[in-house]
Amino acid sequence: MKDLSDYLCTPLSIGTRTIRSRLVLAPMAMLGHVAFRELVNEFGGYGLLFSEMCSAKRILHENRYLSPYFRWRNEELPELVCQIFGSDPNIMAAAAHRIETEGFFGVDINFGCAASDICRHNGGAALLKDPALACRIVSAVREAITIPLFVKFRTGWKDDPDFAVNMAKRFEAAGADALTFHPRVAPDRRAHHPKWAYIGEIKKAVSIPVFGNGNVFDATDCLRMIRITGCDGVAVGRMAVAKPWLFAEWTRHQSVGNSIFRHTALRMAELLEKHYDPINALRRFRKFALYFAANFHFGHTFYTGIMNAMNIEGAKTVIEHFFHTDPGLARQPNINFLR
């Protein structure tokens, strides 16, 4: 295989469009918001950005300037995919149509979220228990849009790769242009290592691009996943929150110094202030801080300080105090913060 950066920077066709990098930001609830995406954009190196998971029902009447989830910058639309969840094919199709009308790069259907509040309403991974309905949703969305259609899904509710392979084939037949596969069973909240070999089985079963996802923490992991699975690209989630510059690092060999950590924390706070009201800004910064804390030996000190901050200004004070002395960078991220 070529050098990792050469491979990641090889253009990839998805439906009728092409992306310049095969390294993409995975969709993450409460993390992949407009402020974080702007931060990632400032570093660059990614192929696509994925929005937070958005309710299809809400998208039909959401005001982009007021919604905490269905919100974007016009400049990012050519590389932005909106992820939606829901269980009604007609509503999902209508939401997807609005997404296309707004100018997004593509639509992503979530069949991977195993959170109880989503599955309770037959959304996310719950739909893998009803394959026929899941496929009707994909078909309905396909008929409603011409932009690229992605499907993100898990192994299923049992450790059965044959089920996942069959679903991949059915999603392709229903009109999906690309798949993002997270090889864990739905109830597994990252207690076990994802079975990357299953990604390879998915890749062999379909002709559309497959993005691997799960436990890619550094460039070595990224290269290993590609070599083991033959996947067409890699979707990085949690580690991208801890190190938003990794896209530039892995695709451009862009080197960063230790000062990047203080800069990133402060810049995240500034961007949240720009895009959100004080309450939502602090809420999202606390979520970000949990993952960002994985970079440090004393990450719990940083995270506790942020949790105790009363507002974004207080969070900035915590950041300055934490970085006033050597923060003690960890050689490997603390996985306990990334669960």
Q: How far is CA 66 from the centre of its chain?
A: 22
Which residue shows structure tokens 């009728």? 16
Residue 175 zone, left/alpha/beta (φ > 0; ψ -120 to 50; rest): left
DSSP state of 27: P
Distance CA 184, CA 191 (A): 10
- Are the CB atoms for 239 and 292 separated by under 8 Å? no
Which has the closest alpha carbon to 294: 322, 255, 332? Answer: 332
Q: Which of 82, 113, 119, 222 is catalytic?
A: 113
Hey, what amino acid is at 58? R
Q: How far is CA 181 from the centre of its chain?
A: 12
Which has the closest alpha carbon to 56: 91, 81, 24, 29? Answer: 91
How far, CA to CA in Å, does 25 sit from each of 32, 35, 38, 106, 277?
8, 14, 12, 14, 25
Helix (H), strand (E) at residue 272: helix 259-275
Cα torsion 86, 88, 91, 93 to 10°: value is 90
Is 54 an annotated catalytic residue?
A: no
Q: Supply the residues annotated as catalytic.
A: 113
